[in-house]
Structure 1
Amino acid sequence: MAEPASVPRVRWDVLAAIGAGGALGSLARYGLSVALPHSRGQFALSTFATNVSGCLLIGILMALLTAAADPHRLLRPFLGIGILGGYTTFSTYATDTLDLVTTGHPFTGLSYALGTVVCALIAVFAGHGITRAVVK
C-alpha cells in the first residue's frame, strides 16, 4: 500500500514576505493605472507598461538571484512572487483585450494581445541577458 503524500509545512515567514510584497506591487500597479488612464475601447497603455516592465524586472531579478552566492531565502518570494506578482496582471490584460474586441476594435485587441506577449518575452530575455552580462 502506498504511503499518503505528506502535507508540506506552512512557512509563515514566506507567506508574510509574499503578502507584503504583493501589497506593494499591487499599489505600484494601481499608481501606474492612475498615471496612465485609458477609456473603454482604448489601448491599455498602463497594463501594457506594467506587464512589460514587470517582465524586464523579473528577468533582472532572476539573473541576480542565480548569480548571487547565497541570496536570502525570502528575496525571491518577496520580490518575485510578491512585488512582481502583485505588480503584473494577466487578468487585467485579458479583460482589456476582451474590452477592445467587444467595443469594435478587434485589430487593436489582437495587436494588444500579441504585442504584450511578444514585448514581455523580449523584456524578460533582455533583462536577464543584460544583467548576466553586467554581473560577469
Structure 2
Amino acid sequence: MRADDALARPLFLQPAVLALVMLGGAVGTAARAVLADAFPVSDGAWPWATFGVNVAGSFLLGLLVALVAVRGGRSGAWRLVRPALGAGVLGGFTTYSAFAVEVDRLLGGGSVGLGLAYAGASVVGGVLAAALGVLAGGGVPAPRSGEAGS
C-alpha cells in the first residue's frame, strides 16, 4: 500500500491516528487513575473523583468541539487534535462505567437519595459543563488565511 492510499482512508482508519487515540487514551486513563487514588470514595459517600473527572471532561470536550469547529478541524494539525484529545485523552479521562458502578453501589447500599442525587447531578452537571465549554470555545476567533495554524 502506498502512503497516499493510507491518507485517503477515513481518519479513524489511519494507523497514525489510531496510535494517537491509543496514546491519548492511556494518558487520560492514567490521569483519572491518579485522581481516583488521590480522592478515594468511602462506602455511602459522594464519589468526588469520578464526578469531577466527568464534569471537567464534559467541559473540555465541549471546549474542544467548539475550538475545532472554529479553527476548521478538517485541515492541518487540527484534524488530528479532535481524535487525539477528544476520543483519546478525554475519552480515557471520563468514565461512564465507574459512574454506573458508583450509582449502583449507592442505590444498593441503602443510600438511595444520595445515589439519585449523584446520578442527576452528574448528568445535569455534565450537560451544563459541555455547554459552557462550547460557549468558551466559541469565543476563540478563527485564524485569518495565511496565519499559522490555518
Q: 1:130 Cα shift?
A: 2.0
Q: 1:40 Cα shift?
A: 2.2
Q: Gaps spanning 5+ residues in structure 2: where?
A: 1-9, 142-150
Match of 2:53 among 38, 50, 53: 50
Q: 1:71 Cα shift?
A: 4.7
Number of aligned residue pairs: give it.
Answer: 128
Normalising by structure 2, we get a TM-score of 0.81
Q: Gaps spanning 5+ residues in structure 1: where?
A: 1-7
Structure 1 stretches of 4+ with a deviation exceeding 3 A read: none
Does 1:91 pair with 2:114?
no
Residues 65, 71 of structure 1: 8 Å contact kept: no
Q: Root-mean-square deviation (CA), in Å?
A: 1.5
Alignment-mate amino acid for residue 95 of structure 2: T
Residues 21, 78 of structure 1: 8 Å contact kept: yes
Q: Which residue of 2 aligns with 1:17?
A: 20
Q: State how far apart, in whole Å, the 1-side matches of 2:108 and 2:94 are.
A: 23
Q: State how far apart, in whole Å, the 2-side matches of 1:74 and 1:64 are.
A: 13
Q: State how far apart, in whole Å, the 2-side matches of 1:126 and 1:71 are.
A: 26
Normalising by structure 1, we get a TM-score of 0.89
Percent identity reads: 39
Q: State how far apart, in whole Å, the 1-side matches of 2:91 and 2:130 are.
A: 14
